[in-house]
Amino acid sequence: MTTQDLSAVQGQENVWQMAQRQLDEVGMLIGLNESLHGFLRQPKRVLEVSVPARMDDGSFRMFTGYRVQHNLSRGPGKGGIRFHPDVTLDEVKALAMWMTWKCALVNIPFGGAKGGVICNPKEMSLQELENLTRRFTTEISIIIGPEKDIPAPDVYTTPQIMAWIMDTFSMQHGYSIPGVVTGKPVSIGGSAGRDKATARGCMYVVDEAMEAHGRTIEGATVAIQGFGNAGMYAAQLMAEQGYKIVAVSDSHGGVANEHGIDVKRLIAHKFETGSVVGFTGGERTDNKEVLEFECDVLVPAALEKVITAENAPRIRAKIVAEAANGPTMPDADDILFDRGIMVLPDILANAGGVTVSYFEWVQDLQANFWEEDEINDQLKRKMTRAFRETYEQAKRHGVSMRKGAYCVAVARVAEATKLRGLYP
288 part of the active site: no
Distance in Å from the first CA to the final CA of the chain: 41
Interaction of residue 116 with ligand NAD, rule CB under 6 A: no
Q: Which is nearer to ligand NAD, 350 or 393 (CB)?
A: 350
Considering only residues 6 to 35 of the shown chain, the ones binding ligand NAD according to CB under 6 A are none
- Angle at which helices 126-140 and 159-173 cross, to 10°: 50
Q: Which is nearer to ligand NAD, 27 or 121 (CB)?
A: 121
Among 198, 257, 328, 363, binds ligand NAD (CB under 6 A): 198
Residue 35 CA: distances (Å) to CA of 100, 113, 148, 214, 414: 18, 22, 25, 42, 10
Catalytic residue among 44, 114, 244, 318: 114
Angstrom distance (rounded) from CA 188 to CA 160:
11
159 CB neighbour count, 10 Å cutoff = 18
Closest-by-Cβ residue to ligand NAD is 228
The stretch near ligand NAD (CB under 6 A) out of 81-89, 171-179, 322-330, 335-343 is 322-330
Considering only residues 246 to 275 of the shown chain, the ones binding ligand NAD according to CB under 6 A are 249-251
Contact 24, 115 (CB under 8 A): no
Among 72, 266, 301, 321, binds ligand NAD (CB under 6 A): 301
At 231, which amino acid appears? Answer: G
At 277, which amino acid appears? Answer: V
The stretch near ligand NAD (CB under 6 A) out of 185-193, 298-306, 371-379, 403-411 is 298-306
Handedness of CA 234, 237, 242, 248 (dihedral sign): positive
Among 15, 26, 108, 230, binds ligand NAD (CB under 6 A): 230
DSSP state of 145: B
> Shortest CA distance to 202 belongs to which of 352, 380, 406?
352
Angstrom distance (rounded) from CA 136 to CA 49:
8
Interaction of residue 285 with ligand NAD, rule CB under 6 A: no
Residue 294 CA: distances (Å) to CA of 208, 257, 279, 300, 316: 21, 11, 20, 14, 5
Q: How far is the CB of 62 from ligand NAD (least distance, A)?
A: 28
Handedness of CA 106, 107, 109, 110 (dihedral sign): positive
Among 94, 203, 210, 324, binds ligand NAD (CB under 6 A): 324
Q: Which is nearer to ligand NAD, 47 or 303 (CB)?
A: 303
Interaction of residue 227 with ligand NAD, rule CB under 6 A: yes
Interaction of residue 357 with ligand NAD, rule CB under 6 A: no
Binding residues for ligand NAD, per CB under 6 A?
A: 198, 225-231, 249-251, 287, 301-303, 323-325, 350, 353
Q: Which residues are catalytic?
A: 114
